[in-house]
Amino acid sequence: MCGIVAYLGEKCAQPILIEGLKRLEYRGYDSAGVALLDGGAIRIKKTSGRINALEAILDEPRTEDTLGLGHTRWATHGEPNEINAHPHPDYTGKIAIVHNGIIENYGTLKTWLQNEGVKFLSDTDTEVIANLIGYFYATGDGSEESKQCDGQTKFEWAVQRALRELHGTYGLGILCADFPNILIGAKKGSPLILGVGDGEYILASDAAAIVEHTTQAVYLADNEMVTISPGGFHTKTIDNVPITKELSEIEFSLEQIELGGFEHHMLKEIFEQPKALTTCMGGRIDAQNGRIKLGGIDSYLRELTRTKHLILTACGTAWHAGLVGEFLFEQLARIPTETEYASEFRYRNPIIEDGTVVVCISQSGETADTLAAVEQAKERGATVLGIVNVVGSSIARATDAGVYLHAGPEIGVASTKAFTAQVAVLTMLAVELGRRRHISSNEATGHIKELAQIPDKISRILEQSDHIKQIAAANAGQENWLFLGRGFNYPVALEGALKLKEISYIHAEGLPAAEMKHGPIALIVDAMPTVFIATAGPQYNKIMGNIAEVRARGGKTIIIATEGDENIKQHADHLITVPDAPEILQPMLTVLPLQLLAYHAAMLRGHDVDKPRNLAKSVTVE
């Protein structure tokens, strides 16, 4: 879960690397570094801390340094310090690399290299890659192939030879001191994109580091590498089989990843949700004729309509969206559905019968556990669909078909607009399958018309941000919170608790409201905040009983209720209202106050909401 960027062109590399790292800092921010090729030697500067700490130790940029690597780290192997920061040189000083991923067999490879006399300086798995490439570059492997290699060919061969020994995941940028105009990238299981500009190339973990310079990109697939020189680039597999890659257009602009007057990306993305949902649903819902068209999966709709078993798999916030989806598919389409944590699905022995459809949900499309679940589901014969936000991502390429969220780039580590967009896509799919299987056309048309109104209703909720800030101020000092909901709002309670944990570092627990009295009610003490989602619906009277139970024990109630509910005011220490909507659509509304509550609580506690401790945006490692 790191950010890598590399540059080769005619411009001074250092400022381009630093600017790229700042755009990738949401991928990791506990240490950073750059490597530049300087007169036949590799000059490395790195430090613990964030990008501004790295800037403070850098020399003045030199116009002759036009090739370099940059890295911002989220630590896996080895504590976040200067020694373990990337880039890592090899033991000969000829090779330098930056790496995103995890090498599972690094211990075995490290022992073998040490027995060959190779010295190690760090505690990282990444240094094994650098030293392995350096070893093969310096000594070969005794094969006829290695003996016949020289010059650039030998550098490429050494990279390929080393990569074939690695078990795990990697996105790599690689330099060799002997070749001041050559940059190599390689990918397996971790994202890597090559931006192709006018006489310049930028290799990066995602398009955020590229889009200021070019909108043309090549998306590398697993077990592929690219060799870049001033004259162009060529791609091949790590087994040296040439392949042809097409240039793709990056789908978002620089403006979309800038703060645009907001203090934080998270707040900007919360307020972008009306527009994001409008774009997500644009061209897909026909409220007039009661139809939904999801072009990416058109050819699979008959298979989906016939399926007797649907599995939704995801991690974190996307799992909460999947749980909403489970309720939707079972209620509207009457399809038996289960929601699996991808991190568990991949290690279990899941029951995948003939006709099972697996839907994998991920904002980034690079979540390692979800990607592994995709592969396992495919091996077992399931039809595998994806719901992702990032075009050209690994999950988008690995699934049989899928639906893009089109929510725009999400930079804030705590996901907000992706959640509502995921729920919107799942709702559209459930309504369409319901129309085909179980509900009447009139009922489907009613749901579609209500769905079209959701963006405007979200805008009305956002007007309460200052009010919600006041509620956060009254409760942010409390270290334990409960979030309770029933039915479709139970997953929202889970999501609200997660948001508060992620960015405010307050311990929070989300529960189905009825489960509170089966144990967690023991936690209730005076002034402990309990957030209830008590909107109008079939379980309204039941949740009112849960509210009474908390109040009887001195707990403080923060209630999310439907506009116009006068009865509930007397039961609320703090009240937030949302516009009325059918129960199945409420999660896209009720989650908004919880996102804002978490944001304001974190700000009041003095935390960096865009870079919460120990977290990174795209979990591309196990």
Residue closest to 52 by CA, chosen among 79, 80, 31, 35: 31
What is the DSSP code string of 58-97? PPPP-TT--EEEEEEE--SSS-SSTTTSSPEE-TTSSEEE
**Number of residues that this document lists for the chain:** 622
Positive or negative: CA dihedral 96, 102, 103, 105: positive
The separation between CA 21 and the C-alpha centre of its own chain, rounded to angstroms, equals 17
Phi, psi of 435, rounded to the nearest 5 degrees: -60, -35
- CB atoms near residue 286 (< 10 Å): 13
CA distance 152 to 68: 17
CA distance 13 to 114: 34
**Token pair of 198 as six digits:** 């006018």
Q: Terminal CA-to-CA distance of the chain, rounded, Å?
A: 9
Residues 6+ apart with CB under 8 A from 252: 207, 211, 408, 409
Residues 6+ apart with CB under 8 A from 578: 457, 461, 535, 560, 561, 562, 563, 586, 589, 590, 592, 593
Q: Is 12 assigned a catalytic role?
A: no
For helices 490-504 and 316-328, give the axis angle rounded to 10 degrees. 170
CA distance 2 to 30: 10
CA distance 2 to 241: 28
50 and 29 Cβ atoms separated by less than 8 Å? yes
CA distance 137 to 549: 70
Phi-psi map region of 392: left, alpha, beta (phi>0 left; psi -120 to 50 alpha)? left
Q: Is 617 assigned a catalytic role?
A: yes
Query: Which of 2, 149, 176, 315 is labelled catalytic?
Result: 2
Query: Which of 457, 469, 501, 617 is labelled catalytic?
Result: 617
Residues 6+ apart with CB under 8 A from 120: 91, 110, 113, 114, 127, 131
Phi, psi of 137, rounded to the nearest 5 degrees: -65, -40
List Cα–Cα distances, 509 to 317, 340, 515, in angstroms. 14, 19, 12
528 and 478 Cβ atoms separated by less than 8 Å? yes
- The residues carrying an active-site annotation are 2, 617
